[in-house]
Structure 1
Amino acid sequence: MGTLVYALCALTSLACAVLLLRGYAASRARLLLWSGLCFAGLAANNVLLLIEKRLVPSMDLSLWRSLPALAGVALLLYGLVWESR
């Protein structure tokens, strides 16, 4: 059951990233770009979680999982702070 939840979270994050980036391509609203990149990082985080829990349960990938999420949130923060000026 946990694998299904992890996979659905990854798919949902990926769908959000695709929709946001498509919206950015259509309207060129910069906030959509930063939000899409954030969700892409969160999707990568969820995919790595799925790999860690299902394929290699003996390895601890928590540091590698955190890096895409950190990068995504940092990009969103950058977009929120610097694009508002």
Structure 2
Amino acid sequence: MAPVIYALCAITSMLCSWLLLRGYRSNGYRLLFWSGLCFVGLSINNVLLILDRVVFATTVDLTTWRLATSLIALLPLLYGLIWEE
């Protein structure tokens, strides 16, 4: 059951990033751009989670890569919230 939930989370974050970036392209609001970039990073994080927990369950530990990806994913949103008007 866990792989299904991981896949649904990855699909949801990819859909959110696509909708946010599409909204930025049509409206031009910068916060949508930074949020879209954040969700692109979170999508990568979810794909790494699937690889870590399902594909390479016992051979490779991707915890450090997942944590680094989530940190990097949140930085554009933090930038957009602090410095954009």
Q: TM-score, normalised by structure 1?
A: 0.95
**Per-residue CA shift, 1:2-50, capped at 9, x if unaligned?**
0000000000000000000000011110000000001111111010000
Identity of aligned residues (%): 51
Structure 2 spans left out of the alignment, 5+ residues: none
Instruction: Summarize the alignment of residues 1-85 of structure 1 with structure 2, pairs less than 5 Å apart.
Output: 1-58=1-58, 59-84=60-85
Residue 60 of structure 1: how far off its partner (Å): 1.1
> 1:77 Cα shift?
0.3
Q: Runs of 4+ in structure 1 displaced over 2 angstroms?
A: none
In structure 2, distance between residues paired with 1:55 and 1:69: 20
CA distance in 2 between counterparts of 1:24 and 1:68 reads: 23
Secondary structure of the 1:57 match is coil
Which segments of 5 or more consecutive residues in structure 1 lack a partner in the other structure?
none
Aligned length: 84
